[in-house]
Amino acid sequence: MYLHHGPIDIIAHVDGPEEIRRDLYECAKKRFSTVLEELVSELKLLKIPFSEVNPEPKGRIARKMFNAVRGAGTFITPMAAVAGAVAEEILETMLNQAKSDVSCLEKIRRMYVNNGGDISFWLNYGSAFTIGVVDNPLRPELNTKVCLPYESAVRGLATSGWRGRSQSLGIADAVTVLSSSSACADAAATLIANNVNIEHPGIIRKPACDVKDDSDLGMHPVTVNVPFLSEKEVSWALRNGAESAKALIRKNKIQSAYLSMQEQTLVIENT
């Protein structure tokens, strides 16, 4: 099922009988129709840098965003988690409806909600979810695959990088993060991608607000072009991002991260 409203594009899928799918899709549509208005009502709060002294938002999705960036210890706004939080909310809506009838839930193998590449999913016992990772969106070829079984703690994933549709302070082509929550994965991917970074005269950065009028990043310099870098420079940038990923793993925010830049990759896992 495809859902679109403003900047939000969602693909939702229920792997189960047609009658159950129709029922859950109707629930998802109903909830989705309220999402944008709910977010806009608290947009001012969601676009300012996170601080523990900021007032708590009221909406369910906004609270997910707030909690996802909590404890970051560096500049980030709750908007870093918006796509993952929306995906999570729509999935939870379908899951709660399915749980109202145990016999219904037993007939579903898996469900997922994909919001622009940030994915929240649910698995029944014995099922698995396979994802493909694309390093460079300008060359859409599958670079690696990961199979996530029912026993895995991962239930959400997200990708960030300077080539993506969201702005980035770093120079990663792509950072894909696996987490128990797609909202947390979204925020973590942003943080790690920001830290895949080095200083280089050929890297072009511009104030975020000059690139996108309504950017939540204000005057922070976002990357708009990265030249071909030496193998050593790429390796150094990836190592900087890896340190950020390791810190998030230690905080139990994420399970693993896949970092990619100019044909080099690093995989950081919770071992």
Q: Which of 99, 245, 86, 247 is nearest to 181 (CA)?
A: 86
pTM of the predicted protein model: 0.95
DSSP 81: G
Query: What is the total count of domains within the chain?
Result: 1
User: What's the whole-number mean pLDDT along residues 21-26?
Assistant: 97
User: Does the pLDDT at position 220 exceed 90?
Assistant: yes
Residue span of the structural domain in which 251 resides = 2-269
Predicted confidence at residue 134, as pLDDT, reads 74
User: What's the whole-number mean pLDDT along residues 95-114?
Assistant: 92
User: What's the whole-number mean pLDDT along residues 59-81?
Assistant: 96
Matching residue, tokens 């940030």: 118
Q: How far apart are CA 84 and CA 78, in angstroms?
A: 11
CATH of the domain at 17: 3.10.520
User: Does the pLDDT at position 190 exceed 90?
Assistant: yes
Half-sphere exposure of 239 (CA within 13 A, CB side): 7
User: Does the pLDDT at position 144 exceed 90?
Assistant: no
Predicted confidence at residue 140, as pLDDT, reads 66
Predicted confidence at residue 98, as pLDDT, reads 94
Residue 128 one-letter amino acid: A
**Residue 103 — pLDDT band, cuts 50, 70, 90?**
confident
Q: Are strands 144-149 and 128-133 parallel, antiparallel or unpaired?
A: antiparallel
Q: What angle do CA 262, 268, 271 make, to 5 degrees?
A: 160
Q: How far apart are CA 10 and CA 3, in angstroms?
A: 5
